Amino acid sequence: MTMERTASGKSTLKVAVTASAGAAIEWYDFFIYGTAAALVFPQLFFPADLPPFVAQIAAFSTFAVGFIARPIGGVVFGHIGDIVGRKHALAAALLIMGVSTTAIGLLPGYADIGVAAPLALVALRFIQGLAIGGQWGGAALMAIENAPDGKRGFYGSFVQIGVPVGVVLANVAFFLVGAFVSPADFSAWGWRLPFLLSIALIFIGFYVQFRLEEPSSARSAPNAGEGSVLKKQGWPLLKVLRAHWRDVLLAGGAFIANNTCFYVAITYVVAYGASTLGLSRQTMLAAVMIGSICMIPVLIMCGAISDRIGRKGIFMTGAALTGLWAFAIFPLIETGSFVNITLAVSVALVLISLMYGPQAALFAELFPAEVRYSGASLGYQIGTVFGGGLAPIIATLLLAQFQSSHAIAVYLAVMCVISFLSTMFLGGRSARSPAHA
């Protein structure tokens, strides 16, 4: 499955950087919700008489709604991307995310509009999920399909760094707001400011739509073109499920550890540290921010290395090491030391980068151009439903049931075993090496 190079080096870098910027702000939008769900939403959007544990589960449940919507977004935008074009699907996803996140920042709380508040929050979170479900495939393919042969892992990693950059931006936003307003003002209106800043994503969406060119491999795909072609070639989703369903499922399995461990490290540990251990919210956010910064160069390095040695080995190494580190994370956090907390989160995120760095190229190389957007997006988003979306809830329930963080570590290790085995079979089938993809 070759993906020919058609862009100059300068043009390729421009596409990759633009895709990375769009991904960073879109993930910023997605992540500020997770931080707010851990810190603010339990008190703001649910009845005051709910026990704190129940309110936290309710808030994390709205967080999970976005993950449930992501496969649907992958299907919808994958269809658009395979039929109409990558950049049109990506631009639409960016615009929808910008509007929905801004709307959350304007949403009244339970005290103002009653039960309509959590219902509206769930609806907007669902729309966020649709958008993020379509964004990744578009951004990844714009970067990879414009990349030279032998450098798809490197350029694909630019899209992957959008995740830690988004985390950093989200935590910086909440960190600064928390530093300059009182706790009462933060709960009343300060938390809204990070959501309102996401209006910038709308402008990036317009830039993608009007200033970037469609990759030639997408333009020449059998599905590309007018709607009449669809009648001849069939629906991309049906084609990918009929011919590549094993690759889709194995891709989802490969991603499950990455997603589960990541969201436990950046979302659940904030709630665990602040609510269960009584640690400073600023301490937990700072640790997550430092760990996310550490991810950025590692992601690029792992993407580049995968161009030389293949995607499979580095991915499986990341799954194995992340599973082992799961047993060190919570004991380090429970010491209460900022250095230990930062070490726990940073090492976890660096090890996760061994999987996430080469992932965009790995998934793109599994599918032919005419169904690549649908196939890569669907595999990726299936992993998010069973991984990140349920991870904070499962971690909260495990801690309540066993009264020990060790149970959470076992849960993370099991997810890593699933990803290790899925990648082993996936690599043996379809991703033998970059040169033969």
pLDDT (0 to 100) of residue 174 = 82
Confidence of residue 428 (pLDDT cuts 50, 70, 90): very low
pLDDT (mean) for 86-97: 86
Contact at 8 Å (CB) between 317 and 261? no
Confidence of residue 4 (pLDDT cuts 50, 70, 90): very low
Count how many residues are written for the chain.
Answer: 437
Spatial distance between the Cα atoms of 334 and 272, rounded to a whole number of angstroms:
10
- 387: pLDDT strictly greater than 80: no
- 176: pLDDT strictly greater than 60: yes
Residue 64's CB is within 10 A of a number of other CB atoms, namely 21
Confidence of residue 37 (pLDDT cuts 50, 70, 90): confident
Least confident of 52-61, 95-104, 334-343, 352-361: 52-61
Contact at 8 Å (CB) between 141 and 156? no
Least confident of 20-34, 252-266, 298-312, 340-354: 20-34
pLDDT (0 to 100) of residue 215 = 65
Of 281 and 365, the one with more pLDDT: 365
pLDDT (mean) for 24-40: 79
Of 91 and 218, the one with more pLDDT: 91
CATH number of 9-431: 1.20.1250.20
Q: Give tens-digit pLDDT for 300-331.
A: 999 999 999 999 999 999 999 999 999 999 99
pLDDT (0 to 100) of residue 437 = 38
Please tell me the pTM assigned to this model: 0.81
pLDDT (0 to 100) of residue 221 = 52
Spatial distance between the Cα atoms of 192 and 201, rounded to a whole number of angstroms:
16
pLDDT (mean) for 369-392: 83
Average pLDDT, the chain: 84
- 69: pLDDT strictly greater than 60: yes
Spatial distance between the Cα atoms of 26 and 95, rounded to a whole number of angstroms:
10
Spatial distance between the Cα atoms of 65 and 88, rounded to a whole number of angstroms:
25
- DSSP 8-state symbol, 432: S
Longest pairwise C-alpha distance within the chain: 63
Q: Give tens-digit pLDDT for 177-223.
A: 888 888 888 888 898 998 998 887 778 777 777 666 666 555 555 55
pLDDT (0 to 100) of residue 219 = 52
pLDDT (0 to 100) of residue 10 = 58
Confidence of residue 168 (pLDDT cuts 50, 70, 90): confident
For the chain, percent of residues with pLDDT exceeding 70: 89
Confidence of residue 59 (pLDDT cuts 50, 70, 90): confident
Contact at 8 Å (CB) between 434 and 365? yes
- DSSP 8-state symbol, 147: S
